[in-house]
Amino acid sequence: MAVVDTSDFYVGMFIEWEGQIWEIVECQHHKMGRGGAIVRTKLRNFESGAIVDQSFRSGERFERIVFNEKPAQFLYKEGDSYVFMDLESYDQVYVHESLVGDKRYYLKEPLEVKLLEHGGRIMSIELPNTVELEVVDAPPAYKGDTVSGGGKPVTLETGLVLQVPMFVEVGDKVLVDTRNGKYLGRTGG
């Protein structure tokens, strides 16, 4: 069990608080006049996704949650589960769609991901920073059409709708940043 002090908090750290797992989304240390310092945080509940503002006294201690990372490959969707192959044991791992959430827009065969496990249970999926996806629907681009800001919405093979430059057409493969869902460019593939 790894125990951390509030002075060790950083954005992206996972802690156990009130019997649940929370991710630190924001963290600011404040020194009060005569009193001790406090740490103001925004925490995201790992299960529900709810975000709460919470202040802690300096020196409070919490259990740090450390995930086991299992390399895996996305295989297919079956019913309400996404099926991955554990790249170490070659076992098939079923992950419920509620746990996958919006990450489904970046999953296509044979994408390699990391399954984050804690306490013998898959808790989340870590995607690569970028994925290549094919454009399956795009409005036509008209010569000289720059009134709309030089971009248009397109639909990708996974159902993701993305704002791209006017020259992107159906059949193009584009690079997408999985951290923010932004267009990065066309690829040669």
CATH of the domain at 35: 2.30.30.30
Q: Are residues 30 and 60 in the same domain?
A: yes
Beta-bridge partner residues of 111: none
Number of Cβ within a 10 Å radius of residue 60 = 14
Q: Are residues 27 and 73 in the same domain?
A: no
Q: Are residues 110 and 144 in the same domain?
A: no
**Boundary-marking domain end, from 81, 102, 126:** 126
Q: Are residues 181 and 135 in the same domain?
A: yes
**Cβ-proximal residues to 48 (8 Å cutoff; 6+ apart), any chain:** none
CA separation for the pair 109, 77 (Å, rounded): 10
- Tens digit of each residue's pLDDT (9 = 90 or more) over 85-114: 999 999 999 988 877 888 899 999 999 999
pLDDT the model gives residue 142: 64
Q: Are residues 113 and 150 in the same domain?
A: no
CA separation for the pair 142, 48 (Å, rounded): 44
CA separation for the pair 135, 104 (Å, rounded): 16
Q: Are residues 45 and 81 in the same domain?
A: no
- Tens digit of each residue's pLDDT (9 = 90 or more) over 31-81: 877 777 888 898 888 777 788 999 888 888 999 888 888 999 999 999 999
pLDDT the model gives residue 10: 82
- Tens digit of each residue's pLDDT (9 = 90 or more) over 139-171: 886 655 555 566 889 999 999 999 888 888 888
**Boundary-marking domain end, from 64, 79, 96:** 64
Concatenated DSSP letters of 93-162: EEEEHHHHGGGGGG--TT-EEEEEEETTEEEEEE--SEEEEEEEE-PPP-TT--TT-SEEEEEETTS-EE
> Would you place residue 82 in the very low, low, confident or very high pLDDT band (cuts 50, 70, 90)?
very high
Question: Whole-prediction pTM value?
Answer: 0.69
- Tens digit of each residue's pLDDT (9 = 90 or more) over 1-33: 588 888 888 877 889 888 888 888 888 888 877
**Boundary-marking domain end, from 110, 126, 142:** 126
Number of Cβ within a 10 Å radius of residue 9 = 20
3-state SS track over 36-89: CEEEEEEEEECCCCCEEEEEEECCCEEEECCCEEEEEEEEEEECCEEEEEECCC
Q: Are residues 111 and 144 in the same domain?
A: no
Domain with 164 in it? 130-186
Q: Are residues 141 and 181 in the same domain?
A: yes
Would the pLDDT of 122 be above 90? no
User: Structural domain tally of the chain?
Assistant: 3
Beta-bridge partner residues of 189: none
Q: Are residues 8 and 58 in the same domain?
A: yes
pLDDT the model gives residue 50: 82
Q: Are residues 55 and 73 in the same domain?
A: no
